[in-house]
Amino acid sequence: MLGAGFIGDFYSFSLHGQRSRDRVQVIYSRDNERGKRFAQKHGIPRWTTSMRDAINDPDVDVVVVALPNNLHLEAVLMAAEAKKAVFCTKPLGRNAVEAKQMLDAVEKASVVHGYMEDLVYPPKTTKALQSVRNGAIGQVTWARSRETHPGPHSNWFWTKDISGGGVLLDMGCHCIEISRNYIGKDIKPVEVMCWAETLVKPIDAEDNALGFVKYENGAIGQFEVSWSFRGGMDLRDEVMGTEGTIWINNFLRTGFEMFTAGGKGGYVAEKAETEKGWIFPVGDEVAELGYTNMFTDFFQALEQNGHCSEDFYDGYIVNEIMDACYRSAKSKKWEPVTLQVWRGKAKSDPISALKEYDKDFLFVKEETLPDGSVKLILKDRKTGEIIQRMIH
| Residue 83 and residue 188 in one domain | no
CATH code: domain of residue 31: 3.40.50.720
Q: Report if residue 282 sits inside a domain.
A: yes
- Percent of the chain topping pLDDT 90: 85
| Residue 112 and residue 182 in one domain | no
Q: Report if residue 341 sits inside a domain.
A: no
Amino acid letter for position 322? M
| Residue 322 and residue 385 in one domain | no
Say if residue 298's pLDDT is above 70.
Answer: yes
* pLDDT for res 275: 78
User: What does the mean pLDDT of the chain come to?
Assistant: 94
pLDDT of 174-186, one tens digit each?
Answer: 999 999 999 999 9
| Residue 156 and residue 126 in one domain | yes
Q: Report if residue 295 sits inside a domain.
A: no
Window from 153-162, 316-325, 329-338 with minimum mean pLDDT: 153-162
Do 377 and 367 contact (CB within 8 A), yes or no? yes
| Residue 21 and residue 146 in one domain | no
Domain count for the chain: 3
Q: Report if residue 107 sits inside a domain.
A: yes
| Residue 227 and residue 152 in one domain | yes
Say if residue 73's pLDDT is above 70.
Answer: yes
* pLDDT for res 353: 76
Q: What value does the mean pLDDT take over residues 366-370?
A: 92
Do 42 and 49 contact (CB within 8 A), yes or no? no
pLDDT of 130-156, one tens digit each?
Answer: 999 999 999 999 999 999 999 998 999
Separation between Cα atoms, residue 336 and residue 324, nearest integer Å: 7
Q: What value does the mean pLDDT take over residues 337-366?
A: 93
The three state secondary structure string of the chain is CECCCHHHHHHHHHHHHHHCCCCCCEEECCCHHHHHHHHHHHCCCEEECCHHHHHCCCCCCEEEECCCHHHHHHHHHHHHHCCCEEEEECCCCCCHHHHHHHHHHHHHHCCCEEEECHHHCCHHHHHHHHHHHCCCCCCEEEEEEEEECCCCCCHHHHCHHHHCCCHHHHHHHHHHHHHHHHHCCCCCEEEEEEEEECCCCCCCCCCEEEEEEEECCCCEEEEEEECCCCCCCEEEEEEEECCEEEEEECCCCCCCCEEECCCCCCCCCCCCCCCCEEECCCCCHHHHCCHHHHHHHHHHHHHCCCCCCCCHHHHHHHHHHHHHHHHHHHHCCCEECCCCCCCCCCCCCCCCCCEECCCCEEEEEEEECCCCCEEEEEEECCCCCEEEEECC
Give the residue from 117, 132, 154 where a domain finishes. Answer: 117
| Residue 97 and residue 37 in one domain | yes
Give the residue from 117, 150, 169 where a domain finishes. Answer: 117
* pLDDT for res 268: 66
Do 291 and 118 contact (CB within 8 A), yes or no? yes
Higher pLDDT pick, 274 / 109: 109
Do 22 and 52 contact (CB within 8 A), yes or no? no
Task: Note down the domain range covering 364.
Answer: 355-390
| Residue 96 and residue 208 in one domain | no
pLDDT of 2-45, one tens digit each?
Answer: 999 999 999 999 999 877 789 999 999 999 999 999 999 999 99
* pLDDT for res 48: 98
* pLDDT for res 263: 64
* pLDDT for res 279: 80
Q: Could you give the angle at the alpha carbon of 228 between the alpha carbons of 225 and 232, nearest 5°? A: 85
* pLDDT for res 266: 65
| Residue 220 and residue 323 in one domain | yes
pLDDT of 252-288, one tens digit each?
Answer: 777 788 888 876 666 666 667 777 788 888 888 888 8
CATH code: domain of residue 308: 3.30.360.10
* pLDDT for res 387: 94
| Residue 175 and residue 319 in one domain | yes
pLDDT of 208-228, one tens digit each?
Answer: 999 999 999 999 999 999 999
| Residue 103 and residue 72 in one domain | yes
Q: Report if residue 345 sits inside a domain.
A: no
Q: Report if residue 235 sits inside a domain.
A: yes
| Phi-psi map region of 305: left, alpha, beta (phi>0 left; psi -120 to 50 alpha) | left
* pLDDT for res 352: 85
Residue 357: exposed, middle, or buried by beta-carbon count in 10 A (0-12, 13-18, 19+)? Answer: middle
Window from 54-68, 77-91, 264-278, 375-389 with minimum mean pLDDT: 264-278
